[in-house]
Amino acid sequence: MRFRVRRRVLYQVGIHATLLLILMAVAFPVYFAVVMGTLSHQDAYAFPPKLVPGGELWRNVSEVWQRVNLGRLMLNSTVVAVAVTVGKIVLSILAAFAFTHFRFRGRVLLFPLSMITQMLPLPVRIVPAYGLMASFGWLNTYYALIVPYLASTTGLLLFRQFFLTVPDELPDAARVDGAGPLRYLVSVLLPLSKTNIAALFVIEFVYMWNEYLWPLIVTTVPNMRVAQIGLKMMITSERTAAEWNIIMAGAVLIMLPPLVVLIAMRRQFAQGIAMQSTK
């Protein structure tokens, strides 16, 4: 009996030790990057590399902030990511509401819409899509960075799945009380959807903050660039001798917003993933 207890404890300790070791290995590259961001020029060139943080973080940050106008880039990324996220949530709620609460011919579109968005990622339409932006006069504007992203099948399917679980009595009761569909959507369905909205917010904010290829081609003036392109600007301006301490100070700032959003809303995010994986 005691033997079995001890075996169980050993088993638990063994798994935890393995997992913590893996965790440290996975996190190490980021640790190394953060340390680099705190080093002076001289320490950054040490070989073997330094593994203990230095005291130059603020100097490096203010340096990179000026060099690529990082404040403006981060502002652009914030505007674009928030606008796209909110827009996607609104549009997908409206569409999911239509697909779950009405009987209409347009319902046949549900499946094609979700397949189309899966099968048409940016690279398969990139040249004409760019041409479209040029003909709209949208190059170097927020429009080009926001509008083409507004439809989201991830959101549509997530909300559809959730709306299907809402008991029929709710819309029936709303109807009896004299509330129209939009009234019902806003005052009954929306408050119930808080978790799903939060989950989609994380998914789409992270996605949009991290977009790279489209912002790279539809913006050319430095003022309209987004933070991700700032990474490229930091590197190419230092191509000859990479000033890694400056670059990493910038990289750490750029990776921070999506990281904070994800960690702050991790519960809702995990629930969103669980729903997606059982669709």
What secondary structure does DSSP assign to 166-215, as a single string? S-THHHHHHHHTT--HHHHIIIIIHHHTHHHHHHHHHHHHHHHHT--HHH
For 239-275, letters b (16+ CB in 10 Å) and e give eeeebbbbbbbbbbbbbebbeebeeebeebbeebeeb
Backbone angles phi, psi at 139, to 5 degrees: -60, 145
190 sits near another protein (criterion: CB under 8 A): no
Q: What part of residues 7-26 is at the interface with another protein (CB under 8 A)?
A: 12, 15-16, 18-19, 22-23, 26
Binding part of the chain for another protein, among 61-69, 78-86, 96-104, 193-201 by CB under 8 A, reads: 96-104
* Identity of the residue, 68 or 156, whose beta carbon is nearer to another protein in the bound complex: 156
197 sits near another protein (criterion: CB under 8 A): no
Q: What part of residues 97-126 is at the interface with another protein (CB under 8 A)?
A: 97-99, 101-104, 106, 109, 113, 115-126
* Identity of the residue, 79 or 179, whose beta carbon is nearer to another protein in the bound complex: 179
Which residue in the set 40, 75, 206, 238 belongs to the binding site for another protein (CB under 8 A)? 206
Which residue in the set 64, 81, 171, 196 belongs to the binding site for another protein (CB under 8 A)? 171
232 sits near another protein (criterion: CB under 8 A): yes
The sign of the CA dihedral 110, 96, 85, 260 is negative
